[in-house]
Homo-oligomer: A and B are copies of this chain.
């Protein structure tokens, strides 16, 4: 696991801690709830839920989640595969998060089971400077990294219209008088693509 990835998982677990996880409900619609990110290590992220919750059933059936969390103008998103690891790491989770022993006192914690997010992709956003946001992406396990922001193709005619409409001023003229979008500061608002006279600006599908 890359150093940067470890840093993002640490922010998610230790700083943000309470995150929102989405699964699908019985009707195939998205369903969210707040959960706490309990632990992280080189093998991924760890959280838990009780066997009686619909969230538990959805995790077992779907094996996939999208989660996001934010605190102090920083946000982290992770989409990926999850698997049930039973009571493995449960004692470590309760030792690391002592408040859990108050919600589930004594042996009532046995109703909880641990899930590991072991493979997925993530994004990091820092908007502490709103005039110049920062983005980064990372990978957990064997997932393939995905491009997310807008990109300029060779069809660019160098008219510079996109430069003047970017809210974050993150488009410059690059090689061969062709516009270049600095992905790490792009809001993905799409304004550049709307004004391009030759449809040279596209966003890769996730």
Contacts and interface: CB of A to CB of B under 8 A. Distances in A.
Contact of A32 (B68, B166, B168): B68
B54 A191 contact: no
B23 A30 contact: yes
Tally of this chain's copies: 2
Interface stretch (A38-46, A96-104, A151-159): A96-104
Contact of A127 (B29, B103, B109): B103
Main secondary structure of the interface of A (DSSP, over half): mixed
B77 A102 contact: no
Given A70-B18, A102-B131, A205-B26, A34 B75 contact: yes
A86 interface: no
Contacts of A112: 189
Contact of A52 (B65, B66, B189): B189
A64 B29 contact: yes
A50 interface: yes
Nearest to A99: B130
Residues of A in contact with B, size category:
35 or more
Interface in A120-146: 125, 127, 130-131, 133
Nearest to A23: B30
Interface of A: 18-26, 28-34, 50-54, 64-70, 75, 77, 79, 99, 102-105, 108-109, 111-112, 125, 127, 130-131, 133, 150, 165-168, 187-191, 193-194, 203, 205-206
